[in-house]
Amino acid sequence: MSILYIVATPIGNLGDITHRALETFKQVDVIACEDTRHTLQLLTHFGIRKPLVSCRSQNEKTASAKIIELLGKGQSVAYASDAGTPALSDPGAVLVREVREAGYTVVPLPGASAFATLLSVCGSADKSVIFEGFLSPKPGRRRSRVRELMESGYASILYESPFRIVKLLADIAEIDNGRRVVVGRELTKLHEEIVYGTAQEVLDDFSERSKVLGEFSVFIGGKNT
């Protein structure tokens, strides 16, 4: 049956895979993925063998055409990004749009996302949260966007690499050092860490570390919280 399934996968802990995701991987004809090597490891762990098609940000348009061709032959396809929910700071949006415009059904399979995982432990009373994902690596653009987000009055969640996390925290503290911040490092993984405090407190914590490793999600509280 010609259906594209958008499948959320674990962001670290493989135990977070859903039963529905595994059953879908087993039942579809083809699995499209951001990185075939990464997804192959996931599938091998669960004893699943399927043909794989690369669909990453660099080739998403052409890969979408190939996937539509497979759907046109009556095949079913599942799509997974490397970790979390596709199209949330990951490839997938172009594929979904192209497949829908071609007239085929797209079915979402919910699951892990760093955004929802961090938000669940923030203790936030903010009713509105802006999901910004990764900011520009250019310092000027990054600082400008951080200021816009913080002055909007809404809470926000960002993603950042270990190479720029201290710089991002410094930008936040410079704008409002008393703003509430929660940093999730290596969420769901062996060395998971969640750091709470004011912008200045969290900056001081990470600035004092000899090494800063891992993948980061950052919650910035709203202006009046």
Q: How far apart are CA 219 and CA 225, in angstroms?
A: 12
What would the two tokens of residue 58 be? 């660099």
**pLDDT mean over 108-130:** 95
Q: How far apart are CA 160 and CA 33, in angstroms?
A: 22
pLDDT for 12: 94
**How many CA within 13 A on the CB side of residue 179?**
29
Cβ proximity of 39 and 7 under 8 Å: no
Cβ proximity of 217 and 159 under 8 Å: yes
**pLDDT mean over 104-127:** 95
pLDDT above 90: residue 210: yes
What would the two tokens of residue 144 be? 């400008």
Query: Tell me: the pLDDT tens digits for 26-74?
Result: 999 999 999 999 999 999 999 999 999 999 999 999 999 999 999 999 9
More confident position, 118 or 225: 118
pLDDT for 128: 94
Query: Tell me: the pLDDT tens digits for 158-179?
Result: 999 999 999 999 999 999 999 9
Mark out the alpha helices in 5-86 (DSSP H runs).
Answer: 19-27, 36-45, 60-72
More confident position, 145 or 127: 145
Contacts of 189 (CB under 8 A, 6+ apart): 12, 13, 214
pLDDT for 77: 98
pLDDT for 225: 66
Instruction: Please give the share of the chain, as a percent, with pLDDT higher than 70.
Output: 100
Mean pLDDT of the chain: 96
Cβ proximity of 158 and 151 under 8 Å: no
Query: Tell me: the pLDDT tens digits for 67-103?
Result: 999 999 999 999 999 999 999 999 999 999 999 999 9
